[in-house]
Amino acid sequence: MELGTIIITGNNQPRNSGPISRSNGTRNSSTASTSNYPIAFWDLLGHSVLQRTIERLRRFGVQLISVFNNQESVATISHGEPWEKAVLDHARNGVQRILLITLGAFTEFDLDDLMRFHMENKCRVTNVSDGQEPLGITLMESKYVANPSTPLRNRLTALVSCSCNYEYSGFANRLASPADYRQLVQDALAGRCEIAPIGKEIQPGIWIGNCARIPRSVRVLGPCYVGAHTRIRPGALICPGTALERQCEIDCGTIVENSTILPSTYLGPGLHVSNCLISGSRLIHLNRNLDVELGDTGLLGWTQNPPSLRMLAALGSLLTFAGAPGMRVPTPSRAPASLDYIRGNGYLG
C-alpha cells in the first residue's frame, strides 16, 4: 500500500485567549460537556472536524487511516506510544509513506499536490506549514523511520535537518480556542471553506438536518444550521450565523443569535443568547471572554432523557423516594413568563 495515515487527536484542549472567569466551580462528572473534549471532536454543522478530516482523506483515496487520542502533545510523547507502534506496523506491512496528522488545525490541503511535492523533491520527511507555523501535518517515507531500535521521536528529530517544507496557502483554522471554532462555523456557513453542513438546504443559506422539528411560528434567518433531531419550540428566533447541532431543544420565544449550541443542549424559554458557545449548562461568551457553568440556574442544561430512561428514573424515584442520581432533567425557568407579564402590562414604557 502506498499511503497510510495516522491521525493523533487530543492535543488541542480548548483554551481561551484571555483570562477565564469560572465563577461557579461546581462541575462534576455528570455535567461533563462536549466542550471538555478536544475541539476536533466538537460537532461542526453535523460532523466533527475529525470526521470531516477522515472523509476528506477518503475522497483522496486513502484507505488506511488510524486514529489515536493522546492527551499529551507530540513533543512530550514518550517512546512506545500507540501511534508510534502504528507507524512501525505500517512500515513493516509495506506501507511506503505515512501521513502523520496531529489534529489541531483544520486545513483543506491537497493531498495529491503534497504527494507530488514530496516525490519530486525526493524528501524523506515533508512538513506542511502555512508560512507562519507548522500545521501538524507530516508526510514521511516509512523506510527511513522504520527502525525499531531507536525511538521514532528521535528519528524524526534527526530527520528535521533534511526535511522539506511544503508551503500551504489555502484555508486554515488552527482551532486553538472556542473563538477559532466559532470562526470556522461562520466561515462554513458563509461558504468560505469546503465544509458542507450535514442536512438539506431548504432555502439559500438555511440547512436543516433530519427529523428537525421547527414550527411555523419560528423565524429562521440564514445563514444558519439546524441539526438532526433538534426541536425548536414556537416563537423562537434563529438569527444569522447560528448553528444548532443535533438533538438540541430551544424553548419558546428564545432568541439565538450568532452562536453555536452543541449537541443535546436545552435552552430555556425567553432567553436571548448572543455570541455564545453553549454545551449543556456550560456557556462560553465570546465577546466577554467568559466561561461559566450555569447548571444551577435552570436556564439551560441538557435535553431530557429518552422516555424509557425517564420511566426508569420515575420508577427509581418511587422506590427510593429520591431522584435518581445523574438523571438531569432541566427545570424551565419561569422568568420569561414573568417578563412577558411585565411587558404586557406596559411596565417597560
Partner 1 sequence: MVQQIAVAVKEFPDCLNLAAGRAFLRDLESFLSQSYRPQIIFDLSGVPHMDAAGIDLLLQCVLEIANRDGTLKLAAPVPQIALVLELTQLNDIVEIFNTVEEAMASFAVYQIPQQPGQPEALPQAA
Verify binding: residue 16, partner 1, rule CB under 8 A. no
Burial of residue 36 (number of CB atoms within 10 Å: 0-12, 13-18, 19+): middle
Q: Read off φ and ψ for residue 78, nearest 5 degrees.
A: -85, 170
**Smallest gap from residue 33 Cβ to partner 1 (A):** 17
Taking CB under 8 A as the criterion, the residue among 13, 17, 23, 317 binding partner 1 is: 23
Judge if the upstream peptide bond of residue 204 is cis by omega within 30 degrees of 0.
no
**DSSP characters over 216-239:** TT-EE-SSEEE-TT-EE-TT-EE-
Taking CB under 8 A as the criterion, the residue among 13, 63, 272, 317 binding partner 1 is: 272
Taking CB under 8 A as the criterion, the residue among 271, 280, 286, 328 binding partner 1 is: 271
Taking CB under 8 A as the criterion, the residue among 198, 248, 283, 286 binding partner 1 is: 283
CA distance 167 to 275: 34
Query: Strand, coil or helix: what is 52?
Result: helix
Which residues have C-beta within 8 Å of that of residue 203, sequence separation ≥ 6?
222
If you ran DSSP here, which 8-state letter would residue 38 be given? -
Verify binding: residue 292, partner 1, rule CB under 8 A. yes
Taking CB under 8 A as the criterion, the residue among 95, 236, 273, 277 binding partner 1 is: 273
- Estimate to the nearest angstrom the gap between the alpha carbon of 15 and the chain centroid: 13
* Exposure b/e, 101-129, CB count within 10 A at least 16 = b: bbbbbbbebebeebbebbeeeebbbbbbe
Verify binding: residue 288, partner 1, rule CB under 8 A. yes
| Binding-site size, partner 1 (CB under 8 A) | 29
Verify binding: residue 280, partner 1, rule CB under 8 A. no
**Smallest gap from residue 113 Cβ to partner 1 (A):** 46
**Region from 3-11, 193-201, 204-212, 285-293 binding partner 1, contact rule CB under 8 A:** 285-293
Taking CB under 8 A as the criterion, the residue among 84, 168, 299, 302 binding partner 1 is: 299
Nearer to partner 1, 138 or 279 (CB): 279
Nearer to partner 1, 46 or 336 (CB): 336
Verify binding: residue 63, partner 1, rule CB under 8 A. no
The total of other beta-carbon atoms located within 10 Å of residue 30's CB is 11
Verify binding: residue 317, partner 1, rule CB under 8 A. no
**Smallest gap from residue 299 Cβ to partner 1 (A):** 6
Taking CB under 8 A as the criterion, the residue among 62, 193, 294, 313 binding partner 1 is: 294
Pairing, β 47-48 against β 43-44: antiparallel
Residue 207 in grid coordinates = 440547512
Verify binding: residue 342, partner 1, rule CB under 8 A. yes
Which residues are at the interface with partner 1 (CB under 8 A)?
A: 21, 23-24, 268, 270-273, 283, 285, 288, 290, 292, 294, 296-299, 331, 333-336, 338-339, 341-342, 347-348
